[in-house]
Amino acid sequence: MPASRKKSTAPHHPASANCPHPKGILIPIGGHERKAEVSEEEAADRPDVAPELILQRFVDEVKGPILVIPTASEEAEASGEEYVAIFQKLGAGPVKVLNIQERAEANDEKNLKLLEEAGGVMFTGGDQLRLTALLGGTMLQRRMKERYTHERFVIAGTSAGATAMSTPMIYQGRNDAGMLKDEIHITTGLEFLHDVAIDTHFVARGRIVRMAQIIATNPACIGLGLEENTGVVITKGRELEVIGDGLVVVVDGMNCSSTTIHEVKPGEPFTIRDLRVHLLSRGQHYSLPIVEQMHV
């Protein structure tokens, strides 16, 4: 059991009757998640290692078959087969792969039927822009959003698969980029999580500055930085539970006092003052301070 389950005192915005909480569960993962349990000897020497695999938590949350979507990967077939083997080893029920490589495939009735039969989906890592370019605006994306909103449907993703869950979505920018205006590029993600920007490999690749630039462009957006082998279980569209070995970094600019991002020229450094930053480890809970809205 986690040693601490304290909950953030972030302000709460009550939902209206027209904006119901989504009934589904999101599990974005920061990448490089462990694929196998450590031995008892290793665990004794590594108190920082979480006792439960993140992928095991996903398997436990899914009620029904799992559908692996390796579209983001350059080696999609191999990536899909890898996750099938992992999930079967972790005791999952039926596991199938839906390898979308053309937009037409995301509107195909046979593929939509596979989605209907699944209790949850797993997006592998790779390139998040492939996910939005191939799935955005398709029947497959729409049906996933509908099921996430109205059913106990579980959507997990690692690395690029996690980044694509949110809107806005980061799709370009070096690890050391972000200090200069326009070094970071964003677009619309798959829209499961609104007004939140997810970034992965967050601590290992030093990505807090590029997240700060995204927040500076619109402080209504919350930054969610996930370290490797670390994730969050999101319920009701806003309630976070941290899982895994590392830290989750929340960057909140809603009450920032000033920014120069709108004044400086492209290629110049920007300023933002009075950001709030939270560092959360496993077992911690946090309520995203976002305004409720429809998810479909």
Q: What is the set of active-site residues?
A: 159, 201, 228
Burial of 60 (0-12, 13-18, 19+ CB in 10 A): middle
276-280 and 248-252 strand pairing: antiparallel
Report the C-alpha gap between 239 and 236 in whole angstroms.
6
List of E strands, the chain: 25-29, 66-69, 95-97, 120-123, 154-158, 166-167, 169-172, 185-187, 193-194, 196-199, 222-226, 230-235, 239-244, 248-252, 258-259, 272-273, 276-280, 285-287
**Pairwise CA distance, residues 234 & 79, whole Å:** 25
Amino acid present at 149:
T
What is the rounded distance in angstroms from the CA atom of residue 149 to the CA atom of residue 50? Answer: 30
Start-to-end CA span in the chain (Å): 35
Total H helices, total E strands in the chain: 8, 18
Distance of CA 223 to the CA centre of its chain: 11
Beta-sheet pairing, 196-199 with 222-226: parallel
